[in-house]
Amino acid sequence: MSDQHPSTPSAGYAGDITATQAYQWWTSGQAVLIDVRSDAEREWVGFVPGAVALAWKQWPGMHMNAGFDAGLQAANPEGKKILLLCRSGVRSIAAAQRATALGFEAYNILEGFEGDPDANAHRGRVGGWRLQGLPWRQN
């Protein structure tokens, strides 16, 4: 996907964007970056410093976060674009659809934090925020 056409419109939310485009929008102040992975995922796999940590579902059991709507509204009082990041770019679609229903301009970050699985079903080697060399940390 070219940065000349950063967004691909999608059903129920503003569109899908690359991690690089999301980083540009976020660091320029145009958008809020929200990491919708579970607390456990961020703790064990890594996180983006400065991103809002707001789980869509929580581990164990991957139950819906009852505070998601309120957390989303608190994270973006200025009504900026919302960029949603999960592990692989799947849960963030549902979160983007919910954010859109709440009245936000919401985007899914393609490939997520870890990217797609490789031939051995391992993540972190094919696409994703980390592989793009964008800022992240691990505890």
For residue 75, tell me if it sits in a domain. Answer: yes
Domain extent, residue 91, equals: 18-109
For residue 6, tell me if it sits in a domain. Answer: no
Distance CA 116, CA 94 (A): 18
For residue 104, tell me if it sits in a domain. Answer: yes
For residue 42, tell me if it sits in a domain. Answer: yes
pLDDT-derived band at 77, boundaries 50, 70, 90:
very high
For residue 5, tell me if it sits in a domain. Answer: no
39-74 tens-digit pLDDT: 988 999 999 999 999 999 887 777 889 999 999 999
Question: CB-hemisphere CA count at 13 Å for 10?
Answer: 21
Answering whether pTM is above 0.85, one says: yes
For residue 93, tell me if it sits in a domain. Answer: yes
CATH of the domain at 91: 3.40.250.10
* Angle between helical axes of 91-101 and 68-75 (0-180°, round to 10): 70
For residue 35, tell me if it sits in a domain. Answer: yes
For residue 132, tell me if it sits in a domain. Answer: no
How far apart, in Å, do the first and last CA atoms of the chain sit?
32
For all residues of the chain together, what is the average pLDDT?
A: 88
Distance CA 30, CA 38 (A): 25
Instruction: Decide: 32 and 76 in contact? Cβ < 8 Å.
Output: yes
